[in-house]
Amino acid sequence: MSLERPSKRGLGKTSAALNKASIVSIAKQSRFGDASVIASGEEPWHACEAADVLDDLATSATDGLAAPEAARRLQEFGANALTPAKRKGFLAKLWAQLNSTVIYILLAAAIIEGAFQAWAECGLVLAVIVINTAIGLFQEGRAEKAADAIKAMLSPTAKVLRDGQLVTIPAEELVPGDIVTLKSGDKVPADLRLLSASNLQVQEAMLTGESVPTSKITHPVPAGAPLGDRKNLAFSATTVVSGTAEGVVVGTGDSAEIGQINKMVSTVEEAHNNLTHQLTIFGRWLAVLVGVVALVSFLLALLRAGEGLQRAFETAVSISVAIIPEGLPAIVTIVLAIGTTVMARNNAIIRQLPAVETLGSVNVICSDKTGTLTRNEMTVVAVRTAASLYRVSGVGYAPVGSFTLAFSPTPAPVGRPGSRAPAAAAPGGTPATEGDLQVVIEGAPSGGGAGAAQEAAQEAAAAAGAPLDAAGMAVLRALLEGAVLCNDSALSRAEKEGGGSVVYTPMGAPTEVALLTAGEKAGLEQSVLKASKPRLASVPFESEHKFMATVHNEGGARVMYVKGAPDRLLPLCRAQVADNDVSVTSPLDIGLWQQAQADLSNQGLRVLALC
């Protein structure tokens, strides 16, 4: 299915038919931002005013499409689904594995061995061929399953205006001109030109590689803008992190950006690397050598030894079979299979075995990071308070880990090399209304207030390297409560089919989900906190002010939590709280916090402030 932009000449403001003749050809940008070529002279969707887009698509922002017109367009343009890759049948795959000169020679040798009733040798050669073929077929099947994973990224449903009514329909039924609404947590069901947006942020890492959610706009952007700068478009399969929006469908199925990626993934070219080339040449020379040796052996046995024709033929065949390296294909296949298995353990699926040899010759790989070398996941690894540095173990979104105390405020946080973690400066609940500050660099435990004896016990446990008891860490509990409450994301959990392990699915910005995970490691569940301390108001994060704030009802009092960039929040704070008592404050030591931020940033960590 090919969906391109309708020409203004082909559509009026009435519900004119979207005829193929009225479609103009617009070459889409690749995901790497190559310049667009507009064959018809028309501007691409992101360079047009919203009103012009609606006019071109003969649709209404208030009523959407009429049901009959939507049905007609669905028949015209096809379903909003990715075209399945053309796959070889079993016989074609089998032929691809057997289509080799060396295999031909081995088959000939097996037939001849069988003709002379040398069943052991015949069986060995056939076993080599079968093993070689089976490994190749298995590896190709695994690669095809990996390519199918892209389809799981698509949204199953969409909320759309039809005949002036907001209805939920299967995403496959979306057509160009449909008006779609989005809210936080939704997957974008098709490529949309945004008509309105309220604090909309979309996670586009799977398309652009940017780990930070993109803030969306509605006004036009330059026609030559790269993919990541088309901020008035919401792309299919991306996720809404926060805010709400309304947009008109401009790309479905294969014409959407995710469809272009699907085409690239589905297109498999036959590998012609150095190993394949050398084996082909070797097979040809081996065939020539076997033929020459067979002929010479036959003539010598016939003319010089005086053997009969049958005996001379048997001698020639025996000598020829002896020089055939029956184990070569098996050795090559097994070595390559071992290489692919090692790489598969690191989630690198090799579609064709000979590619391992080429990859082994690579010195440098240039790639975008997020979604390719990393998983766009973040983990809280350190929490900095006025007096202490706390560390948290565990990686990923599963709330599994323990907290320890580092007495020196300067040690490097624990974490995998290259890992990124939110570090936050955060106070407790009550001091937040007074502009007090606490600093977080690692995960932390939860707990209520504790006396001096408990604090001493905590320090003794920390000195022994034991995990901290969250019940004695009042300041960390207050800090993490702020991290969980000043948060618009969610962390869902579900058991895998058949029971057993639990799968945690992030819904929202990776930074916010990392804070939720840290809170759950400390025993703070978002649902419980929201019920006990309901939100009264909020200021959403915007790139201009670089912070988010929420106001909550805590026992009849109003408490505000703020999280954001330290350089924006530090100037707003006046005091800092003590580690063992959130009610005890002292004047803000801004130099301490600035040095802590610098130290953490130099370690490759992302630093956040909570106050």
C-alpha to C-alpha distance for 533 and 557, rounded to whole angstroms? 10
CA–CA distance, 423 with 595 (Å, rounded to integer): 13
DSSP at 421: -
Q: How far apart are CA 243 and CA 217, in angstroms?
A: 12
3-state helix, strand, coil in the chain (%, to 5): 40, 20, 40
User: CA dihedral in degrees (571, 575, 579, 582; nearest 10)?
Assistant: -120
**Cβ neighbourhood burial of 270 (10 Å; 0-12, 13-18, 19+):** exposed
At which residue do the structure tokens 């343009």 appear?
Answer: 77
Residue keyed to tokens 């049948």 = 89
Inter-residue contact 532 to 540 (CB < 8 Å): no
Q: For residue 203, give the 3-state DSSP assignment.
A: strand
Cβ atoms of 181 and 212 closer than 8 Å:
no
Both tokens assigned to 548: 């988010």
Residue of 368, 567, 579, 599 marked active site: 368
Residue 445 backbone class (left: φ over 0; alpha: ψ -120 to 50; beta: rest): beta
List the beta bridge partners of residue 370: 374
Residue 92, classed as helix, strand or coil, is helix
Residue 416, both tokens:
């995998």
Q: In terms of Cα–Cα distance, which of 397, 358, 367, 364 is closest to 380?
A: 397
| Close Cβ partners of 389 (under 8 Å, ≥ 6 residues apart) | 382, 383, 405, 406, 408, 409, 410, 411, 413, 441, 442
User: In angstroms, rounded to a whole number, what is the distance separating the alpha carbons of residues 89 and 98?
Assistant: 14
Amino acid in the structure at residue 238:
T
Q: What residue ranges in 323-377 does DSSP mark as E strands?
A: none
Cα(350)–Cα(263) distance, integer angstroms:
18
**What is the DSSP code (8-state) at residue 65?**
B
Number of residues in the chain: 611
368 catalytically annotated: yes
CA end-to-end distance (rounded Å), the chain:
52
> DSSP string covering 132-169, please?
HHHHHHHHHHHHHHHHHGGGGGS-SEEEEEETTEEEEE
Contact status, residue 11 vs residue 18, Cβ threshold 8 Å? yes
- Report the 10 Å Cβ neighbour count for 346: 6
Contact in structure between 423 and 406 (CB atoms under 8 Å): no
Q: How far is CA 491 from CA 243, 397, 487, 512, 596, in A?
A: 18, 8, 11, 10, 29
Retrieve residue 193's tokens. Answer: 């030109």
| Helix or strand (DSSP H, E) at 459 | helix 452-463
Residues designated catalytic: 368
